[in-house]
Structure 1
């Protein structure tokens, strides 16, 4: 038999060292993986403060969505660089304000009252009227020299119809009806000439007029050069009182000849969004002193909001301190405040 081969001892030592190093390497890798998993798991769990912050962000987002929903009806289209509309970012009550006391009868006064057979005009209020013929600008005609209109809108009426004359070079625009008494209106109704009963006509406000083009050979209010009136009346604070497609809301047939004064910011918003007066008042009711609708028109910034009338007696209405403002009733349940603001 041959002699057994002797394996050198130092070869075994080398193998053992390599094995130990390999084992240590595996252990290090395993520990590294476990440690990394632990760190990732720990950092993925939000702390109490993180949870609160995320909740706050969620609440703000919800609130922002609510405001966005409120303004969805208002178009973001702007017709000029200084004309825009936006919802106020204020969600809390402004610090500086005053209280104005309004009587119950004030609900039935103002530029934005709605008058119809169900919401009749209150003739007890004293509305200063002027004779249109005595104050007209000579650039339009009247069918009757005794027509009356509210004194405070006479300047705007003349300015608007002067603008029409400049655009058409015609004096054919003829006002055929303006302020009407309850008795006269009832006679029109009884004779089948009007669907509004005495007390139910918008003409009672002194803020409305009806017109035509005479002679008809000059044109029509619904086409050609006299379309200027319907397209530009908003710049003077007027709107079509009974626009096409709104019959179910106004209760009356559409009329291209019946104009109503509502004030410049309101006329702008109504025209921009194709609102009837009824729709616009409903829109404004969604806003309060604490959450005002803000709009800038022709370089003037307005805050517009609604205040429901008290159940009985007087109503305390908040007004931004130092602001110029007007208040109009809606002839139903409350007041629309329009304040000129600095920003």
Structure 2
């Protein structure tokens, strides 16, 4: 009886082993079949047309070094209302000046303080912006050194709206005309900005910019100053020729206007239409040490602030144009505050370097 039981147990174990082997064999065969089917249906994935394949294992930064001259821009919030302020604002019969607490200095007081004798102020009431006074003082000092003439008088500078209206009314009374061709209406005169002045002389109490005085018109751009109302631009400025009336705009802009024979109306229109930020920028190099680029930015009229793209790590200036936008001047080389001795005077037949700036970098809002 014991022997039969032992044989039965052995038989059961053998049967179990055989069963397990069969199950394992079926599993292996199934796995092989699945792998074969999968392999048969597998296709090679083509290379992406958007990825450049190269055997070179060096990084892109090693292959293409970063341009050290590339300008990186970021956006700053700038008050939209400031489009009516700045050295490049256009004030004329179509563009009113609204007045913004002008910072002014007395010409006569500054002359006395600095003990200058090369030019004079009309009286104690003559005032201009500090940046304009400094430019005038440097220019007239150099004029004296060149010509030994010291009779230039800064006769008129800043005017209040009331003073301007009185002058306008007096001119109408004198000419009998309904509108004046010689005096701007109150609110439409550059004299109200502090960036304009009139010259005369203490010898004749007249000034025509001729003879020895022509040096001033030839060199005033070197100090950021322009003759505002040229004789051949009266149809555009709508003001008669005034050889005595000068306006401060800054050296790069004065250079470009003089070189290309543009009045302020033409220059601001050129920047608006041809050199917006999103497109080509105007590059101006007026001597070996100073180079800048200029572009126009539209204001955000729906907001109190406008995002203006400006360069990171570069000096820049923002001026409104007094109507529909901002003019940004970026100093690529130099600071635009002085002029190296120029090799030649600006002429109409010379050409500025005009280039483009890489604008691919995202602007930080």
Pair 1:297 & 2:286 matched: yes
Is the Cα contact below 8 Å between 2:207 and 2:244 reproduced in 1? no
Pair 1:307 & 2:283 matched: no
Is the Cα contact below 8 Å between 2:108 and 2:122 reproduced in 1? no
- In 2 relative to 1, CA 220–154 (structure 1 residues): closer, same or farther, beyond 3 Å? closer
Per-residue displacement from partner, 1:115-144 (whole Å, max 9, x unpaired)? 123211111x12210111111232112222
TM-score (norm 2): 0.65
**Aligned-pair RMSD on alpha carbons?**
1.8
> 1:70-85 alignment to 2 at 5 Å?
none
User: What residue is the counterpart of 2:156 in the other structure?
Assistant: 177
Q: Which has the larger radius of gyration?
A: 2
Per-residue displacement from partner, 1:79-136 (whole Å, max 9, x unpaired)? xxxxxxxxxxxxxxx662111222122111011101123211111x122101111112
Residue 205 of structure 1 is aligned with which of 193, 200, 203?
193
Per-residue displacement from partner, 1:281-300 (whole Å, max 9, x unpaired)? 11112112342111212311
Is the Cα contact below 8 Å between 1:117 and 1:199 reproduced in 2? no
Runs (4+) of structure 1 moved beyond 6 Å? none
- In 2 relative to 1, CA 220–311 (structure 1 residues): closer, same or farther, beyond 3 Å? closer
CA distance in 2: counterparts of 1:102 and 1:337, whole angstroms: 12
CA distance in 1: counterparts of 2:308 and 2:145, whole angstroms: 42
Is the Cα contact below 8 Å between 2:227 and 2:245 reproduced in 1? yes
What SS does the corresponding residue of 1:190 show, helix, strand or coil? helix
What SS does the corresponding residue of 1:303 show, helix, strand or coil? strand
| Residues matched between the structures, number | 248
- In 2 relative to 1, CA 342–272 (structure 1 residues): closer, same or farther, beyond 3 Å? closer
Shift, 1:266, TM fit: 0.3
User: What residue is the counterpart of 1:50 in the other structure?
Assistant: none
Residue 266 of structure 2 is aligned with which of 279, 298, 307?
279
Residue 110 of structure 2 is aligned with which of 126, 135, 155?
135
- In 2 relative to 1, CA 220–167 (structure 1 residues): closer, same or farther, beyond 3 Å? farther
Pair 1:189 & 2:168 matched: yes
Residue 122 of structure 1 is aligned with which of 98, 108, 112?
98
Name which of structure 1's ranges 133-142 and 299-308 shifts more when overlaid on structure 2.
133-142
CA distance in 2: counterparts of 1:176 and 1:220, whole angstroms: 11
> 1:48-59 alignment to 2 at 5 Å?
none
CA distance in 2: counterparts of 1:133 and 1:112, whole angstroms: 25
User: What residue is the counterpart of 2:17 in the other structure?
Assistant: none
Pair 1:240 & 2:215 matched: no
Shift, 1:171, TM fit: 1.2
Pair 1:150 & 2:123 matched: no
Is the Cα contact below 8 Å between 2:147 and 2:212 reproduced in 1? yes
CA distance in 2: counterparts of 1:222 and 1:129, whole angstroms: 26
Is the Cα contact below 8 Å between 2:271 and 2:295 reproduced in 1? yes
